[in-house]
Structure 1
Amino acid sequence: MTRKLVVIGAGMASGQMLESLTGIAPDAYDITLFGAEPRGNYNRIMLSPVLAGEKSYDEIVTHDAAWYRDQGITCRFGEPVVKIDRSQKHIVSAAGVTPYDKLVIATGSASFIIPVSGNDLPGVIGFRDMDDVEQMLAAARKPGGKAVIIGGGLLGLEAAAALNGQGMEVTVLHLMGNLMERQLDPAAGYLLQKELESRGITVICKAFTKAILGKEHVDAVLLEDGTILGADLVVMAAGIRPETRVATDAGLHVERGIVVDDAMQTSDPDILAVGECVEHNETVYGLVAPLFDMAKVLAQSLIDEPAAFVAPAVSTKLKVTGVDLFSVGDFAEGEGREDIVFRDPARGIYKRIILRDDKIIGVVMYGDTSDSSWFFAKLKAGEDIGDIRDTLIFGPAFQGGAQADPLAAVAALPLDAEICGCNGVCKGSIVTAISDGATDLAAIKAVTKASASCGNCSGLVEQVLASTLGDGFVVPAESPMCGCTTLTHEDVRRIIKSQALKTMPAVMQECGWSSLCGCASCRPALNFYLIAEWPLDYADDAQSRFVNERNHANIQKDGTFSVLPRMWGGMTTPDELRAIADAADKYNVPAVKVTGGQRIDLLGVKKEDLPDIWADLNEAGMVSGHAYSKGLRTVKTCVGTDFCRFGTQDSTGLGVKLEKILWGSWTPHKVKLGVSGCPRNCAEATCKDIGIICVDSGFEVSVAGAAGMELKQTEALAKVATEQEAIDVTVAFVQLYRENARYLHRAYKWVAKVGLDWVKARVVDDPEQRAALCARFELSQSVYRQDPWAAESTPEFKEKKWAPLTDLTLEAAE
């Protein structure tokens, strides 16, 4: 008869344990998993990116329903365990009694709620799980909100940065003299505080909280010195405490945490424990790498294979608000120590190595942690560094001369050197995966999970690949975005997001641009990426746009311009036609053409006449058709049910609605739409970036077509029943394209790169993610959608002299 295993807690530690157990002995137990949250295992390390809006919940799930089902695990989520009856060998939950042969406690930790009056008011929360994130996001949606974060450690600062990015006014209160004092020395803590304050976050160190004020809801925080700080949200991030109540009530040996031996055994021979609730050799661990080591040992213990958890030398490699930090060992002041310090204030880099008897005993790094694994390996090995003392601070590339092979240090790392801190992956695991056939970064991610979370270790993983494969390593084909940098478009977008870079000079400085003025290739791309990422913070740089976008018209081969007013869905009125005719007469327009996008083009307009012709057309109620832009061009429609006997839906009405929603949005490349009222496809919807075919049952939305230099039919994205669903799917697709595609890549190139299934998973299959994409699109439009003609037809504008323009690129009319 199969033994029964009950697991209390569905977090990361128990998830790793179950993964290990089912991998080595899939039939050893009949497993029942209890979780207090109404969801399974997800990567809690990535809660901050979810709070910041950089990731969705689905993107941080590590074990979904299908995984539990495939492993035969019975899941009881949203059902906390309230009692362990050791004598009867069963647990008690709200649903009743569940027996066990072996029991694993993995209850994790809880936020430490400081003992002051008002700490139980609504609006006072911790930061430990997805429920906390959802409460914080709800508070951030209210305009003018104020948040007070109590605690200047890692979690507190991540919450502060994310809420600041969501538009809240944020104050961090920290009891100690410098931020993250357990990981950073005062100098590094000062640099971090300075960086946070530059982003609009108020930091108060040596802040003693006296009370939290409010009646029905939190209103303010009172400090010991009498300072009162308004607060709509208070986040308790002053530390965590092992969650041991169910173990204590059961009479297990509990000190700070549930006491376990090297095999993860508690004081009861049939009960084991793992994770942040555990105390091993008087130590409680809060970092994921040692918890994963515990989980693997526990899995072996459950099948009676001897294994022992060995307390590791724990390092901290973090990214707080886009700043790289690393610390390990002992960096407090003391006798017999020697410090080596490197400071580069202009680049925001600080490194400190603490030595005793020519051995590294502590490392603190701020701003540049690329060599952290090398230093960490030497610290763990207790290596004598006397021979390289003079160049030690400069890292492995400077040992043995400036021509030293930069991969040599990676090759020299021991197999137990940690490469991915998020998932606790060591070099040996990656080397084994490579030997088994994983020869690129994607394969390494799939097999080991290295670099699959925050991505900060991707470069180091690729160095392990290169040093292991030697000549067999193929450099990724992506080329740099321009001659100013060695970074690809994807690298730059990731850095802009992860480091919260909100100006072009900041991007160029932090990414090491060779020319801090940029060039004709990178400036338009950076301008778009910053607009797309930070619509509320970034100011559009007109001089970083192509000539057509700067002049809001298409330049022609003779230096004149074409002007296209927008005609919603190809529809117009007699008054609009009269306005166009009058403008053509008034400005001696030599040619007037009906375009393939169902609009009227005024060709041959002189540059000096552009502001005035814009003013006249604007006065007639017409806005720019953006025929010059990397944005929505046209929405081509057929006449639909109003007039056509074959029409199945109101294609014209839908086309007009879509154009009025989408116009003025900046995108990686031009976007064209078509809406056909029936499968006869008169609007040529199946060769557009987005095409909609109206059918009796609703609407068929397809994407990724092309009809220019490349001819490509669209691919089916979704079939929906209502017009609103068609609109939502279209808007979500456009926003996903804006957030992820490389600049100057049409939608069909982007879809080919990421895969249509990836797009469907976010736009079609997940209603919450679709709604979030639509909301972010609407936010961006509220800031950046404006008729350029209206702004530039004012008397103030027309009185200004035209600034000389150095054309970045003379684009041909499309």
Structure 2
Amino acid sequence: MKKQKLVLIGNGMAGIKAIEELLKLDPEMYDITVFGAEPYGNYNRILLSPVLAGEMKLDDIMLNDLEWYKSNGITLYSGKKVTKIDRAVKKVYSDDGTEVQYDRLVLATGSTPFMPPIPGIDLPGVLAYRDIADTELMIAATASYKNAVVIGAGLLGLEAANGLLLRGMNVTVVHLADWIMERQLDKVAADMLQTSLEAKGMKFLLGRNTEALIEGDESRVGAIRFKDGMQLATDLVVVAAGIRPNYTLAESSGLFCGSGRVRGIHVSDTLQTITDPSIYAVGECVVHRGIAYGLVAPLFEQAKVCSNHLANIGIAQYKGSVTSTKLKVTGIDVFSAGNFSGDDETEDILLHDRQAGIYKRIVVKQDRVVGSVLYGDTSDAAWYFQLMKDGQSVHEIRSHLLFGNSSGSHLGDAGHKGQNLAATMADSAEVCGCNGVCKGTIVKSIKQNGLFTVDEVRKHTKASSSCGSCTGLVEQILASTVGGAYTPKTNESKPMCGCTEHTHQIVRDAIYAEHLINKESVFKSLGWKNENGCEKCRPAINYYLISSFPHEAKDDPQSRFVNERMHANIQKDGTFSVIPRMWGGLTNPKELRAIADAAEKYHVPTVKVTGGQRIDLLGIRKEDLPAVWADLNAAGMVSGHAYGKSIRTVKTCVGAEHCRFGTQHSMDTGILLEKMLFDMYAPHKVKLAVSGCPRNCAESGIKDVGIIGVDSGFEIYVGGNGGIKTEVAQFFCKVTTNQEVMEYSGAFLQLYREEGWYLERTSHYLERVGLGYAKSKILEDEKGRKDLFERLIDSLKNAKDPWEVMQTKEPVKQFIPIAVEA
């Protein structure tokens, strides 16, 4: 049977997706010809920003190289633009005179960047940002010029600004709206994102209307002027003010492309143009039921329906898409879907932790999720989106919504350690929204094809091959499916910050290997882009320096957060919270009187017993802090380090000292641990607990290190976390004496201090390296364990009370002359 002729105009992601799906259904049905205006194969346009930033090259983002077209018998005319379609004779004509006959034609002409009609928009040095050519022009400009303005604070504009910033330019983002990414984020999330970007050095001018671009001395753009009269000098202007469907070719061929604001190639539910049934259209050039989509997921849904009809199966229909946006904006995860801004008929369920960089807003109407916006933690985005699409009632799980799919009794045992998101997902749950790939498809492909890497999964299923935001979830599914056969590559983690391309591990290794003892030597040795660092890398480097060389590296107070500089927790009203230490949760009348006296003397409005068995003085004014510290010091009380990436508390029950069920003296053991670890800084906060019997009243099972007394000694558990997502601690070992509790617990904490990444909890550290690795270093290697313990004790031998240091401004006496007793 003679093959039909199929021509595709447009070599982008949507059009080639339709061809890929068609080849799965009937690879022998057509002779296929593809025209692409660019001189390349099919590349991932979403990943242009990493190319601009210098993190990737063109080869890294290529989806289908030239060999793919050859191997599938496809004729590719790259670098050729189709200028005419003769529908009467069914031929297309390119700008170089090439003519190709078709039986069926697919238009995937994409979109064009919107260039606002302002004077000077055509000056040299004014660029759009849409393809590889634009990207290369921007990269070339960074070599000769210093100042850039980006018009538009949508995703594309921010990614352009970030790439230029990383290449050393001074970048200002200009935006007409009052907050950035207003189509994807509400104002709270947008403000958090803006603050993060400003910390990297990006500048913003919001609510500004551009009046003109002004020519400079070099016959190219030299400044931008706003309608309020303000003028800003610049060497480069990048316009990222939106896109428009590219329907010019279709309209010139007599296809209906609408009128007014809804312009584009109008198609039916079968993706056929409503003018000519032999011509199909997919992608950003399309208008379907009055909507033009600009996200990858709906375009790929269109491609699948189109291929179904090209293959003459003819049963699929495209009814439109429920869209969500899950993006990584300059390294920060954001997600939004549905009516995320809410209205008078909706309710908001909110979690906002600005210090942790997490914001969740779930919008509910009549017990159903109608929208959501997430910032910082998007791990449950697919679950919220599925709840919204399904219209499922959340009445029974409302109290658990903010804590995600792996929390709460409504999900059985999903909250236990090891039951990650991948394990709790249904096979029908969508993982990759861009390509419509569900968990079951990924698991089936892994098992059938023997896949062991994310790259292999990506090749076989297309999951994570587009925007990449689902890569972490694909990784989880792979790990849970193949178990120990999967080993994640830890060096593939993201850079420490925008100042460097190096990961936390590379920086840690370099500091130790090169014996670097101050941040300036780190910046110089590792080629830091920002010579002063930023709010992300400076605290991390400061910790790595003092943990690697505790007696040589000098702590830099200016590289610590405000809480650590003030030795108190700042509250939302600007006052501070002071928490003196109570060893093992024990106190006495003298200490209680000192706390009561301070509360009265400084008019402390709130005095609260904390979950860590201490007393919190809330509402202290900044100017009163030194006096409060002095009074508490005078009563013999010291800092509880409730503000730091440090040892926080050792919680205890009353144990065998008092309890009729107690098998071990938990208070004595807890005090020994807490005094041993006083002033210990770590990658993140560290909490311990000692329970005198298996009834576990001190909640040892959700602590970084938990000790549980049994008849024959103590059981040690590690890696617990009682935070937003509770992690149950894992059994580590059993010991018999207090000395062994100190040694084994201390060795584990020192291993974490030496190898953990800054802001990585013990649970995440163990997830990365594996519990077996920690056991091999501590349980199976006696010398290694003792060396770790000795390094811990040595690093703490000059432990100081920071309140006393703040008072004297002088080195003070060693605080803890502790002797660990058996």
Determine the C-alpha separation between the residues in 2 that align with 1:72 and 1:418.
32
Query: Aligned in 2, Cα 1:536/1:37: closer, same or farther, shift over 3 Å?
Result: same
Two-structure CA RMSD over aligned residues (Å): 3.4
TM-score, with structure 2 as normaliser: 0.60
Among 458, 462, 471, the alignment partner of 1:458 is: 471
Pairing of 1:422-437 with structure 2 (within 5 A): 423-437=435-449
Q: How does 1:274-423 map to 2 (within 5 A)?
A: 274-306=282-314, 307-400=316-409, 404-405=415-416, 407=419, 410-411=422-423, 413-421=425-433, 423=435
Report the counterpart of residue 248 of structure 1 in structure 2: 251
Counterpart code for 1:282: G
Give me the whole-angstrom Cα distance separating, in 1, the residues matched to 2:49 and 2:128.
13
Deviations 1:40-71 (A, max 9, x none): 21000100000000000011111111111111
Alignment of 1:438-457 (within 5 A): 438-442=450-454, 443-452=456-465, 455-457=468-470
* Offset, 1:297: 1.5
Query: Does the aligned pair in 1 maintain the 2:523–2:531 contact within 8 Å?
Result: no
Q: CA deviation at 1:243?
A: 0.3
Correspondence 1:88-237 to 2 at 5 A: 88-96=89-97, 97-143=99-145, 145-214=146-215, 216-237=219-240
Q: How many residues in Structure 1 have an aligned counterpart in Structure 2?
A: 529
Cα displacement (A) at 1:332: 2.7
The whole-number CA distance in structure 2 between the counterparts of 1:533 and 1:84 is 54
Greater shift, 327-336 or 340-349, is seen at 327-336
Per the alignment, do residues 502 and 346 of structure 1 end up closer, same or farther by CA in structure 2, a change over 3 Å counting? Answer: farther
Q: Deviations over 1:119-144 (max 9, x none)?
A: 1111111111000000100111115x
- 3-state SS of the aligned residue for 1:387? coil
Question: Structure 2: which amino acid aligns with 1:500?
Answer: G
Q: Alignment partner of 2:348: what SS?
A: strand
Shift of 1:39: 1.5
- Residues 1:474 and 2:477 aligned together: no
1:57 aligned onto 2:46: no
Distance 1:349 1:21, change over 3 A: same
Q: Do 2:326 and 2:336's aligned partners in 1 also have CA atoms closer than 8 Å?
A: yes
| Residues in 2 aligned to 1:127 and 1:475: alpha-carbon distance in whole angstroms | 42
- Please report how far the alpha carbon of residue 364 of structure 1 lies from its aligned counterpart in structure 2 after TM superposition: 0.4
Secondary structure class of the residue paired with 2:409: coil
- The corresponding residue for 1:85 is 86
Is structure 2 residue 291 aligned with structure 1 residue 259?
Answer: no
Q: Which amino acid aligns with 2:280?
A: L
* 1:88-114 superposed Cα distances (whole Å, 9 cap, x missing partner): 211121232322111110000011001
CA contact (8 A) 1:184 1:327 kept: yes
User: Which residue of structure 2 lines up, in the alignment, with residue 500 of structure 1?
Assistant: 498
One-letter identity of the residue aligned with 1:462? E
Asked if the contact 1:495–1:501 (Cα under 8 Å) also holds between the matched residues in 2, the reply is no
Partner of 1:31: 32
Displacement of 1:431: 2.8
AA aligned to 1:432 is: K
Relative to structure 1, the CA distance from residue 28 to residue 229 in structure 2 (aligned partners, 3 Å threshold; closer, same or farther) is: same
- CA deviation after TM superposition for structure 1 residue 397, in Å: 2.3
8 Å CA contact 1:530, 1:538 repeated in 2: no
Q: Secondary structure at the match of 1:193?
A: helix
Look up the SS of the partner of 1:347 in the other structure.
coil
Aligned partner of 2:242 among 239, 243, 254 = 239
Q: Distance in 2 between matches of 1:391 and 1:518?
A: 43
Contact 1:151 1:238 in 2 (8 A): yes
2:511, 2:545 within 8 Å by CA — same for their partners in 1? Answer: no
Question: How many angstroms does 1:21 deviate by?
Answer: 1.7
CA distance in 2, matches of 1:446, 1:380: 28
Could you tell me how far apart the structure 1 residues matched to 2:501 and 2:20 are? 43
Q: 1:151-204 deviations in whole A, cap 9, x for unaligned? A: 110000000011001001111011111111111001111111111111111111
> Are the counterparts in 1 of residues 168 and 529 from structure 2 also a CA contact under 8 Å?
no
Question: Percent identical across equivalent pairs?
Answer: 43
Residue aligned with 2:89, SS: coil
- The 1:303/1:475 distance shift into structure 2, 3 A limit, reads closer
What's the CA shift for 1:434?
A: 2.7
Q: Distance in 2 between matches of 1:242 and 1:382?
A: 32
Secondary structure of the corresponding residue to residue 198 of structure 1: helix
Task: Check conservation: 1:45, 1:422, Cα contact below 8 A.
Answer: no
CA drift of 1:545 comes to: 11
Cα 1:264–1:198 shift into 2, 3 Å: same
Q: Which amino acid aligns with 2:318?
A: F
Secondary structure at the counterpart of residue 272 of structure 1: strand
Amino acid at match of 1:437: N
TM-score by length of 1: 0.60
Aligned residues of 1:419 and 1:425 also touching (Cα < 8 A): yes
Task: For 1:759-774, list aligned pairs within 5 A.
Answer: none
Contact kept, 8 Å, 2:334 with 2:375, in 1: the verdict is yes
* Residues 422 and 453, structure 1, Cα contact 8 Å, conserved in 2: yes
CA distance in 2, matches of 1:503, 1:237: 26
- Point out where structure 2 has 5 or more consecutive residues left out of the alignment: 534-540, 554-756, 758-810, 812-822
CA deviations on 1:480-526 (whole Å, 9 max, x unpaired) are xxxxxxxx7415xx3226x526599x969xx9x9xx99996999799
Contact 2:442/2:457 (<8 A) preserved: yes
Cross-structure match for 1:19: 20
CA contact (8 A) 1:318 1:326 kept: yes
SS for the counterpart of 1:434 is helix
* Separation of aligned partners in 2, 1:73 and 1:51: 30
| Partner SS, residue 289 of structure 1 | helix
Equivalent pair of 1:523/1:544 in contact (CA under 8 Å): no
Aligned AA (2:59): D
Amino acid in structure 1 at the alignment position of 2:439: K
Per-residue CA deviations over 1:326-348 (Å, capped at 9, x if unaligned) read 00010234222110110111111
Pairing 1:269–2:277 present: yes
